[in-house]
């Protein structure tokens, strides 16, 4: 693709949001680490420098070589990126008297600047920095200020190089998308043609070329990601795709048989494999979250290795890996951002498994996956399904896993999810589930004292899972669900509701 944007990552927590905002403009963007940029820059029409937790004044601060970019391609520096351009270009960056964090408002506009076209005077922006640009770089032209930040936006004379101290990618910057559009469309000349239809057409063609006449095994999970990946491959290679739906013993109540029937009704070539005893046996006695994830991932691969021998001459293993999986598992494209947790479908295969990996969705965020599925005419009951973690209930049962605990949590989860659907709340929630806590609490049922399990309910709203906020479910609904769980699920006498957001808390408890 020739119509795309390169985002150089300096380790900012907001880097992935930059990519999302650019893509929302129907312009393809990809993130690369500042210390390992693409050797061939010919495919990129514009470059964006992200923010960073570093100070440009520090000895170990990121200092990229921009000799093949600055002055040659449209370039936008955001926060640290703007400070780096100023500091390396003869300007002055110094500590702020106070940390500049939170809402601010742009004023002192430079009239007639395309970069600020259709942006309102006094528009709200979001600041997050402890250094500030005291003096602009050589040939710098001031574009806008705020009450506390004189050099909030600037450009370099005779170049398509721009710097902004604020973050246009976060929702708190009210007209951030317009600013990005001005830069990418009006200044860089990018076309807004990266749509779900275009993605399907391009991806199907690439899959046909990559796979040829070879056979592919794909692990279906019942979720949106693997389902959309399956349909893309089905469009590309038809009967060469062999789908396998594994029951790892950690699925929701009745999910194995219900979802298997749904897939077969969609025309997919799918085989159901009940490996629940194998998974639960491997997990016996293990309580450490990362080790549980690793075990589930290992057994998952072992099952697929066994099944691959049942498909003659299988050459490929397809996975529904999406962009946030990679971001949270291996840092931002190998850059300086922090790793949060491992995902069992990220990181390659063991040497003994002689299959190549194909990941049709590895550059998409969750909402983009849904739009691609809708473009292909997939049913809403698949696309509207809440995300469900690959390790399933294995990371919603805190501590060790037993068949009894799985059965308890399946019943609790079923009551919660069906309740959301019954009360018309399911589609207002991005993801919901129940957690079985490793504590017992005292209760009273009838005239008897009980000492039973506590479960936590969690429901969040989000766009892509990178950030999330808890959903303010009606008290009446929570009361009804709590009573139903305690009355119907033997072994549970207490229900709590999780009201923490991501960050600092992750969506899953493990």
Q: Catalytic one among 30, 129, 167, 368?
A: 167
Contacts of 75 (CB under 8 A, 6+ apart): 46, 47, 48, 49, 66, 69, 85, 159, 160, 161, 162
pLDDT tens-digit readout, 211-233: 999 999 998 888 899 999 999 99
φ, ψ dihedrals at 47, nearest 5°: -130, 140
Report pLDDT for 3. Answer: 73
Examine the residue annotation and report whether 362 is marked as an active-site residue of this protein. Answer: no
What letter would DSSP give residue 252?
A: P
Q: Catalytic one among 79, 242, 343, 359?
A: 79
Report pLDDT for 332. Answer: 40
Report pLDDT for 447. Answer: 62
Examine the residue annotation and report whether 105 is marked as an active-site residue of this protein. Answer: no
CB 390 within 8 A of CB 465: no
Cα angle, residue 456 at apex, residues 432 and 325 outer, rounded to 5°: 45
CB 29 within 8 A of CB 188: no
Examine the residue annotation and report whether 79 is marked as an active-site residue of this protein. Answer: yes
Structure tokens at 330: 């291996």
Helix %, strand %, coil % for the chain, to 5? 35, 25, 40
Q: Catalytic one among 30, 100, 129, 169?
A: 169
CA neighbor of 489 nearest in space, from 413, 419, 417: 413
pTM above 0.85, yes or no: no
Report pLDDT for 321. Answer: 87
**What is the Cα–Cα distance from 91 to 75, expressed in whole angstroms?**
17
CB 365 within 8 A of CB 464: yes
| Tens digit of pLDDT at every position of the chain (510 positions) | 557 999 999 988 788 889 989 999 999 998 899 988 999 999 999 999 999 988 989 888 889 999 999 999 999 999 999 999 999 999 999 887 666 678 899 998 887 799 999 999 899 999 887 788 999 999 999 999 998 899 999 999 999 999 999 999 988 899 999 999 999 999 999 999 989 998 999 899 999 999 999 999 998 888 899 999 999 999 999 999 999 999 999 999 999 998 888 888 888 999 999 999 999 999 999 999 999 999 998 998 888 788 888 898 889 989 888 877 765 544 444 444 444 344 444 444 555 667 788 999 988 888 899 999 999 999 888 898 898 888 999 999 999 999 999 999 999 999 999 999 999 999 999 999 999 999 988 887 766 778 889 999 999 998 777 788 999 999 999 999 999 999 999 999 999 999 999 988 889 999
Whole-number percent of the chain with pLDDT over 90 = 62
**What is the Cα–Cα distance from 263 to 228, expressed in whole angstroms?**
11
Alpha helices in 238-288 (DSSP H): 255-265, 276-283
């Amino acid at each position: 693709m020739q119509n795309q944007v390169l985002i150089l990552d300096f380790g900012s927590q907001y880097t992935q949001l930059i990519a999302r905002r650019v893509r929302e403009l129907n312009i393809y963007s990809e993130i690369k680490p500042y210390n390992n940029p693409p050797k061939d820059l010919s495919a990129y029409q514009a470059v964006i420098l992200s923010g960073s937790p570093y100070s440009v004044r520090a000895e170990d601060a990121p200092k990229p070589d921009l000799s093949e970019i600055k002055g040659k391609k449209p370039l936008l520096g955001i926060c640290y990126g703007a400070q780096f351009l100023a500091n390396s270009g003869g300007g002055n960056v110094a500590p702020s008297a106070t940390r500049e964090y939170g809402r601010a408002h742009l004023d002192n506009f430079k009239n007639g600047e395309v970069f600020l076209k259709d942006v309102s005077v006094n528009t709200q922006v979001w600041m997050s920095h402890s250094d500030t640009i005291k003096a602009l770089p050589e040939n710098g032209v001031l574009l806008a200020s705020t009450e506390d930040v004189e050099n909030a936006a600037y450009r370099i004379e005779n170049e398509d190089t721009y710097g902004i101290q604020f973050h246009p990618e976060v929702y708190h910057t009210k007209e951030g998308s317009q600013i990005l559009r001005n830069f990418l469309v009006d200044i860089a000349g990018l076309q807004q043609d990266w749509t779900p239809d275009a993605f399907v057409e391009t991806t199907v063609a690439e899959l046909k070329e990559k796979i040829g006449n070879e056979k592919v095994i794909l692990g279906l999970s019942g979720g949106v990601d693997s389902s959309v990946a399956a349909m893309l491959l089905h469009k590309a290679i038809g009967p060469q795709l062999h789908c396998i739906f594994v029951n790892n013993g950690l699925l929701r109540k009745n999910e194995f048989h219900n979802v298997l029937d749904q897939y077969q009704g969609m025309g997919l070539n799918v085989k159901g494999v009940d490996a629940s005893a194998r998974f639960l046996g491997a997990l016996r006695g293990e309580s450490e979250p990362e080790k549980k994830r690793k075990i589930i991932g290992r057994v998952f691969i072992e099952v697929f290795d066994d099944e691959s021998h049942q498909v003659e001459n299988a050459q490929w293993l397809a996975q529904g890996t999406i962009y946030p999986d990679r971001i949270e598992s291996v840092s931002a494209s190998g850059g300086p951002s922090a790793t949060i947790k491992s995902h069992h479908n990220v990181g390659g295969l063991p040497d003994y498994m002689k299959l190549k990996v194909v990941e049709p969705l590895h550059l998409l965020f969750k909402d983009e996956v849904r739009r691609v599925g809708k473009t292909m005419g997939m049913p809403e009951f698949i696309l509207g399904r809440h995300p469900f973690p690959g390790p399933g209930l294995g990371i919603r049962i805190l501590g060790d896993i037993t068949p009894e605990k799985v059965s308890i949590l399946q019943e609790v989860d079923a009551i919660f999810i069906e309740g959301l659907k019954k009360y018309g709340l399911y589609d207002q929630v991005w993801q919901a589930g129940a957690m079985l806590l490793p504590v017992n609490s005292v209760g009273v049922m009838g005239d008897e004292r009980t000492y039973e399990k506590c479960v936590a309910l969690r429901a969040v709203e989000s766009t892509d899972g990178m950030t999330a906020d808890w959903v303010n479910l009606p008290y009446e609904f929570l009361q009804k669900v709590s009573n139903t769980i305690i009355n119907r699920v033997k072994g549970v006498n207490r229900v709590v509701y999780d009201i923490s957001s991501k960050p600092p808390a992750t969506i899953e408890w493990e």
